[in-house]
């Protein structure tokens, strides 16, 4: 049976994948799913992974890509910077932009240096449903995810004809330590507006399906993806509905405080 995520272009070749932000949460689940699918996976993170990597360092990304020559590079590293854009610390905003956006750009550029030369490869960029809508309390975070989506679509167009494909995954909130740590933070309420939080394994499975498909972009779950896209094209309505969504998120935060933390 054909494995979901594997490329059919080199069936006899051991495929190599790099996953950034691999030390826990979704990154760990992505590494496990890719290994189950037959990839040799190099998990990269600041600590706690196969390789130490700061995605804010473009030269470090190039060194890793040149060394392992990946068939797949997953830009998963990200942080949630919650709080008003008017009062967040300059250093917090800078770090959010550098990790969430520049990290994706650096990783993608490093990977394409290798992949274009070879004539094949995949880049998977983890965005968010926040890449479609206004997210008060997470304005800077959402801005980075809007930019990740725009960069990824533009890069896909620039790589047309090279054999290198770009995929974008936009998940809803995921029950990982990153969100668990925000259960008492009202500024992060918009991350909890869904009827449920996704599991990391569920999102990793969606990533594998996306890699094995002809799609460029997928939302998880699809119905929430449609909802956020519609809100994105009606910003006036989105702004008016914001307080209602915020109250839903705060209510869900209170409920989730009784839930055991994610492992």
Q: What is the number of other CB atoms lying within 10 angstroms of the CB of residue 50?
A: 16
CA distance 219 to 31: 20
Q: Identify the residue whose tokens are 């990824």.
A: 152
φ/ψ (deg, to 5) at 38: 100, 0
For 250, residues 6+ apart whose C-beta sits below 8 A from its C-beta are: 186, 189, 192
**Which DSSP string do the residues of 63-126 spell out, in sequence order?**
HHHHHH--SEEEE-------S-TTTS-HHHHHHHHIIIIIHHHHHHHHHHHHHHHHT-EEEEEE
| E strands in 141-225 | 164-171, 217-220
Q: Catalytic pick from 39, 73, 132, 141?
A: 141
Q: Look up 39 and say whether it is catalytic.
A: no
CA distance 59 to 57: 6
CA distance 228 to 211: 23
Residues designated as active site: 141
């Amino acid at each position: 049976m054909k494995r979901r995520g594997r490329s059919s272009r080199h069936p006899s070749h051991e495929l190599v994948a790099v996953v950034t932000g691999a030390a826990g949460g979704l990154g760990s689940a992505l590494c496990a799913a890719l290994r189950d699918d037959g990839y040799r996976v190099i998990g990269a993170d600041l600590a706690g992974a196969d390789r130490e990597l700061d995605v804010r360092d473009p030269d470090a990304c190039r060194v890793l890509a040149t060394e392992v020559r990946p068939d797949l590079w997953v830009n998963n590293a990200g942080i949630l910077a919650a709080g008003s854009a008017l009062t967040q610390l300059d250093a917090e905003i800078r770090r959010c932009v550098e990790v969430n956006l520049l990290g994706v750009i650096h990783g993608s550029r490093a990977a394409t240096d290798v992949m274009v030369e070879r004539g094949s490869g995949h880049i998977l960029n983890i965005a968010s449903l926040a890449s479609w809508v206004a997210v008060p309390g997470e304005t800077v975070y959402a801005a980075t995810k809007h930019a990740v989506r725009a960069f990824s679509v533009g890069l896909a167009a620039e790589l047309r004809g090279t054999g290198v494909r770009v995929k974008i995954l936009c998940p809803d909130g995921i029950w990982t330590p990153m969100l668990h740590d925000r259960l008492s933070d009202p500024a992060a309420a918009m991350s909890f507006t869904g009827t449920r939080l996704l599991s990391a394994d569920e999102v990793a499975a969606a990533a594998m399906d996306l890699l094995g498909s002809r799609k460029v972009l997928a939302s998880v779950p699809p119905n929430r993806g449609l909802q956020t896209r519609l809100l994105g094209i009606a910003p006036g309505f989105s702004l008016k509905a914001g307080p209602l969504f915020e109250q839903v998120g705060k209510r869900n935060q209170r409920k989730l405080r009784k839930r055991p933390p994610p492992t």
